[in-house]
Amino acid sequence: MIMKFLEAVGRRADGVVNATGSMAIMLGQAVMFAFVPPVKLRNIFKQMSFVGVESVYVVILTGTFTGMVLALQSFNALKRFGAESLVSPTVALSMARELGPVLTGLMVTGRAGSAMATELGTMRLTEQIDALVTMAVNPVRYLVTPRVIAGVTMFPLLTIIADFSGVVGGYVVGVKFLGINSAVYTGRIMDFVTVHDIFYGLKKSLVFGVITATVACFHGFYAKGGAEGVGRAATGSVVMGSILILMSDYLLSSLMTY
């Protein structure tokens, strides 16, 4: 009984170590190929469009509503201390340092990460990845590198959009619905929010971009077991991607704070 339990734990641990190692190797190769010609710009732009441009609407919506609810909640709390004028820096700092990068990461992992895993998983199961190999084309260079580059470049840009949307959403609620003075709302942001705060969030989003692209490509690349396997790859990429984003968010916050 105990032996069986230990065996199961060992197998599980072995699987986790294996997956982590394989993912690290895949990421290392993808990064190396990004600097070794020939670099196919067309593939990179296509992925940037998919990860970035096509995620803009969902990021704007997420950012706007998050900013709106932040403004509402912080207004109710700050009113008790007569500090309603601090609503806008609360919204802006929360968005820039934490919610902008994290929510963008989670939303884009759900949208683009699952799609990447599905696409690569389907390519694996229909032998399209094998076909690349037989045509002397390295599948990591062709499929993973453009996606990692797209993640690294687009996540920070999407985060800026989310930050701005959040501030605008907060403005609508704070100024239009709750009666905060417009000049106070914008002025307080200028007083309290620095460029450092914005870069603090952008650094995180860059890491989240790498995590999302690598996890999604890994799950798709090694998918097996027919249609069910592709489904598992998509689900696995979203679950693992989201967990890693939240874990690394804490880790990065700790590292950048001290």
Partner 1 sequence: MIKIIDLKKSFQGRDVLDGVNLTIEKGKITVIIGRSGEGKSVLIKHIIGLMKPDSGRILIDGDDMTALRERELNEVRKRFGMLFQGAALFDSMTVAENIGFPLVEHTNLDDEEVLKIVGEKLRRVGLEGVESLMPAQLSGGMKKRVGLARAIVMDPEIVLFDEPTSELDPVMSDSIADLVLETQQALHTTYAVITHDITLAYKIADRIAMLHGGRIIEEGSVEEMKSNENPIVRQFLEGRAQGPLKAY
Binding site for partner 1 (CB under 8 A): 119, 122-123, 126-128, 130-131, 133-138
Alpha carbon distance 254, 258 (integer Å): 6
Cβ closest to partner 1, residue 97 vs residue 141? 141
CB 20, CB 211: distance < 8 Å: no
Q: What is the DSSP annotation of 26-47?
A: HHHHHHHHHTSSPP-HHHHHHH
The least distance separating partner 1 from the CB of residue 127, rounded to whole angstroms, comes to 4
For residues 20 and 138, which CB has a smaller minimum distance to partner 1 in the complex? 138
Residue 38 zone, left/alpha/beta (φ > 0; ψ -120 to 50; rest): beta
CB atoms within 10 A of CB 1: 5
Pick from 233, 244, 17: which is nearest to 129 by CA? 233
Instruction: Quickly tell me which residue has 């952008």 as its tokens.
Output: 202
Taking the CB of residue 208, how many other CB atoms lie within 10 A of it? Answer: 30
Q: How far is the CB of 120 from partner 1 (least distance, A)?
A: 11
Q: Which is nearer to partner 1, 223 or 252 (CB)?
A: 223
- CB 215, min distance to partner 1, A: 21
Nearest distance from C-beta of residue 137 to partner 1, angstroms: 5
Nearer to partner 1, 73 or 122 (CB): 122
CB-wise, 127 or 228, nearer to partner 1?
127
Cβ at position 129, least distance to partner 1 in Å: 9
**Closer of 47 and 94 to partner 1 (Cβ):** 47
- Residue 149 CB, nearest approach to partner 1 (Å): 18
Min CB(237)–partner 1 separation in Å: 19
Q: How many angstroms separate the CA atoms of 93 and 99, rounded?
A: 9
Question: Measured from the CB atom, is 38 or 82 closer to partner 1?
Answer: 38
Q: How far apart are CA 55 and CA 52, in angstroms?
A: 5
List the structure tokens of 117: 């895993």
> Rounded to an integer, what distance in angstroms lies between the CA atom of residue 120 and that of residue 215?
12
| Three-state secondary-structure class, residue 252 | helix
